[in-house]
Amino acid sequence: MENKVALVTGAAGGIGEAVVRALAGLGVAVALVDRNRERLEVLAKDLRRDGRRAEPLPADVTDSAEVEAAVSEAERRLGGLDYLVNAAGVLRTGEARELSDSDWSATFAVNTTGVFFVSRAVVNRMVARGSGGVIVTVASNAAGTARMEMSAYAASKAAATMFTKCLGLEVARFGIRCNVVAPGSTDTPMLTALWEDGGDDDALRASIDGVASAYRVGIPLGRIARPEHIADAVLFLLSEQAAHITMHDLTVDGGAALGH
């Protein structure tokens, strides 16, 4: 992967940051895309201190004009993109009948439309160059397993998953692979934000042991994932070790979805 070029959305924290650090550690030049300008600058400086190539590109993935500008600037600064990782995501919870219009719209704007905007901008440039490329979308095991109070999130991730697979089918003839990583509960701010009511220890135990009243099984491996676990799966699908894998959905959830 050394000397390759990647663009990662949601780069300011959580899984996105873990992917950025893992790629940079392998000698990949990385364009960091997120709305959090301050955090991007801090991360880029940290990576540069270690001799890595990292360019912070603040942008809102829900705005197609900002996306096009960010992708163009990434290629101007770093060269043609070899990899794209769609890791930006938001979570709005609540029973489906009580979700607001803004909850629904905001969830799909980032988790689905954002994946479309960024993937379209990147893949069109990959096709034009004719040298292939790889796209990985970070979705969720909730895309294939019903979860109470997560209808918007699950539906948006299911849509992003199928979009990525359809895109992979269309661009396979150009040597471009498109795959999905589906995490389960992972130690990120998105997960811990759900723990505010019950306390960290109780919420962590519930995630691992499951909640019968919510029809949620636990995690057979007995632990939640670290962001690095998800990054490892992303790197595998980007790598030449996965050269004959496309349109695949790799679940990384410690068995929480029971293999589905």
pLDDT tens string 4-20: 999 999 999 999 999 99
The pLDDT of residue 204 is 83
Residues paired with residue 134 on neighbouring β-strands, in sequence order? 83, 177
What pTM did the predictor assign?
0.96
Terminal CA-CA length for the chain: 31
Band of pLDDT at residue 189, cut at 50, 70 and 90: confident
Q: Given a cut of 60, is residue 138 above it in pLDDT?
A: yes
pLDDT score for 198: 45
* Token pair recorded at residue 48: 């540069």
What pLDDT, on a 0 to 100 scale, did the predictor assign at position 196? 60
Please state the rounded mean pLDDT for residues 69-75: 98
Dist CA 21 CA 14 (whole Å): 11
Q: Which domains, ranges and CATH numbers included, belong to the chain? A: 5-184+228-247 (3.40.50.720), 189-224 (no CATH)
User: Which positions are annotated as active-site residues?
Assistant: 153
Q: What gap in Å lies between CA 27 and CA 73, rounded to an integer?
A: 20
Give me the mean pLDDT over the 42-55 stretch: 97
Taking residues 152-157, report their average pLDDT: 98
How confident is residue 202, by pLDDT bands cut at 50, 70 and 90? confident
Average pLDDT over residues 84-89: 98
User: 209 is written with which tokens?
Assistant: 């042991």
Cα–Cα nearest to 133, from 92, 79, 87 = 79
**No. of helices (H) and no. of strands (E), the chain:** 9, 9
Task: Give how far Cα 7 sits from Cα of 104, 192, 200, Å.
Answer: 27, 26, 33
- CA-to-CA dists, residue 238 to 15, 100, 145, 222, 242, angstroms: 15, 37, 25, 28, 7
Q: How confident is the model at residue 197 (pLDDT cuts 50, 70, 90)?
A: low
Mean pLDDT, residues 128-153: 97
Q: What is the bridge-based pairing of β-strands 176-183 and 249-252?
A: parallel
Mean residue pLDDT across the chain: 95
Q: Which helix (H) or strand (E) holds 75?
A: helix 64-78
Confidence (pLDDT) at 243: 98
